[in-house]
Structure 1
Amino acid sequence: MQLTIESLIALSLCFFVIAVLYSSVGFGGGSSYLALLTLFFASFFVIRSVALVCNLVVVSGSTYLYYKKGHFDAKKFIPFVATSIPLAFLGASFRLKEYVFFIILGLALMTSALLLGTQSIREKNQKTRLTAKKYPIWVTYFLGAAIGFLSGLVGIGGGIFLAPILNHMRWDFSIKIAALASFFILVNSVSGIAGLVSNQMFVFPWKEGLILLAVVFIGGQIGIRLSLNKLSGRGIKLLTAILVFVVGLRVLLNNGLQVIDF
């Protein structure tokens, strides 16, 4: 399915804004890419493929800059991805019925929006800087596995789930969690793409896809640089959470349950 010029321009502008907003708080934007793509493409193979590749492009730049700035802690990050990589591959390998995929996607988007909104409200009410807590190593492996599987299943990197959970747990300081989320999204996106390719479910519309990749790359670079220059992300997180929730509800009701069209 090819897009009209008008549709491609509109989608590109939306992807650019999403890349700027999400990269500024350490995410790739996969959840919102998925939601928007459902409005333009009928095939959820295309939807999953494009969202994962765009995720990969955005967080590759973010991960590099976090590493360059000294926020990358391999010792603490690797346990998360040790279990998430194989589970993301497994999740991406499932051949879901289309309506099941959209139900899971809608619920995932709404859940991620609630987590992100809760995190932003928590930051507003937080009066003092919190001290990082230590958790048993099995908690790290479990979170990585669970979120990795969900990430592969619906075609997102999973950082939008992981970061709010870790902030709520006071796992580490916000900048370190953002760096982990970016790295987590990176490896899960690669694993998810590999899962799609190995099961012949990777369908990428090259003409539209390359334009979208260029757009999110530029947007992602702008967003991460704004973030590292101390731009507050609380308001951005709250606005993004509202938008993702609304779109997730639409995907659930219209594409998944098919009970309403709005």
Structure 2
Amino acid sequence: MDYLWLFVSFFLIALVYSSAGFGGGSSYLAVLALSGLPTGAIRPIALICNLAVTGGSTVSFARAGVMPWRRALPLVLASMPAAFLGGRVLLAREEYLLLLGALLLLAALLMLVRRPAGAEAGVKSGGAAGAVAIGIGGVVGFVSGVVGIGGGIFLSPVLFLTRWAPAREIAATTSLFIALNSAAGLAGQLSVGTEVDYALTLLLLLAVIGGGQLGTRMTLRWLPPAYIQKIAAALILFVGIRLVWTNWPL
């Protein structure tokens, strides 16, 4: 296996995604899936790297005072048990890669949907909004736990499209959601005996920590968020199509 290729790929993914407030879990999975690693080794590596990138972002948002704790907590509290249960689901390699490809296609399409005008205004909170948040958190958490990602790539577009909150608060909530669901999904995997390739994981952790730290320091003039999102969506779309095509039952 070409470890240098994996190291460089993970560094660049963390660099790009952290600049936009994401962890990069879906792209880590995509790269690992194409590398030929066993299915059991793919999910924990992606989640650990995801956690390393978004954990730092969450701390930064909290220190800056932009974390909407009252609105974010229902999402997160509903998603973590669901992510744990999803992490316990074991699928055959072909089924897993087909599901992963389909979800990557969905994620890419969601990322390509442009945010509607007036989304910065947000929506009023209330009982109905809280119920919707719990429902969204539960569904996204379970699916994310099954495939081994933090779920931010699904959550963020939904929050933008529903005008859930201003952009900075959505970014902060997404980082918190990804970090805690990555931890919950990883716990679910380890609870059923999933083994971790510690040597490879440590190597890739060094790559994502370096890329993530650099990404958070990049200015918007160098890498505008809209441009980052289009690049990420194009990568996810390509790999999703390839996974669905190669694993579709004949």
Same fold by TM (over 0.5)?
Answer: yes
Picking from 122, 125, 131, the partner of 1:132 is: 122
Give the whole-Å Cα distance in 1 for the aligned partners of 2:119 and 2:92: 46
Give the whole-Å Cα distance in 1 for the aligned partners of 2:168 and 2:49: 23
For residues 33-52 of structure 1, the aligned pairs below 5 Å read 33-52=28-47
Picking from 239, 246, 249, the partner of 1:247 is: 239
For residues 1-262 of structure 1, the aligned pairs below 5 Å read 3=1, 7-118=2-113, 121-122=114-115, 126=117, 130-134=120-124, 136-201=129-194, 203-226=195-218, 232-254=224-246, 256-257=247-248
Shift of 1:228: 8.1
Give the whole-Å Cα distance in 2 for the aligned partners of 1:208 and 1:41: 14
Give the whole-Å Cα distance in 1 for the aligned partners of 2:185 and 2:59: 20
Aligned residues between the structures: 247
Shift of 1:224: 2.2
Give the whole-Å Cα distance in 2 for the aligned partners of 1:113 and 1:169: 18
Give the whole-Å Cα distance in 2 for the aligned partners of 1:34 and 1:219: 17
Shift of 1:67: 1.2
CA change 1:220–1:258 in 2 (3 A) is farther
| Worse-superposed segment, 39-48 or 160-169 | 39-48
Shift of 1:214: 0.7
Shift of 1:229: 8.9
CA change 1:247–1:69 in 2 (3 A) is same
Give the whole-Å Cα distance in 2 for the aligned partners of 1:75 and 1:25: 23
CA change 1:184–1:230 in 2 (3 A) is farther
- Which residue identity is paired with 1:92? G
CA change 1:230–1:72 in 2 (3 A) is farther
The answer to whether the 8 A contact 1:41-1:47 is kept is: no
- Which residue identity is paired with 1:63? T
Shift of 1:209: 1.4
**CA distances 1:42-91 after superposition (whole Å, capped 9, x unpaired):** 31110111111110111111111111211112111110011100000000
The answer to whether the 8 A contact 1:84-1:188 is kept is: yes
Q: Which runs of 4+ in 1 moved over 2 A?
A: 224-232
State, as a whole percentage, how many aligned pairs show the same letter.
39
**Local SS of the residue matching 2:229:** helix
Shift of 1:142: 0.2
- Which residue identity is paired with 2:243? V
Unaligned runs of 5+ in 2: none
**Local SS of the residue matching 1:130:** helix
Shift of 1:192: 0.5
CA change 1:227–1:52 in 2 (3 A) is farther
The answer to whether the 8 A contact 1:157-1:186 is kept is: yes
Give the whole-Å Cα distance in 2 for the aligned partners of 1:11 and 1:93: 26
**Local SS of the residue matching 2:121:** coil
Give the whole-Å Cα distance in 1 for the aligned partners of 2:222 and 2:82: 34
Unaligned runs of 5+ in 1: none
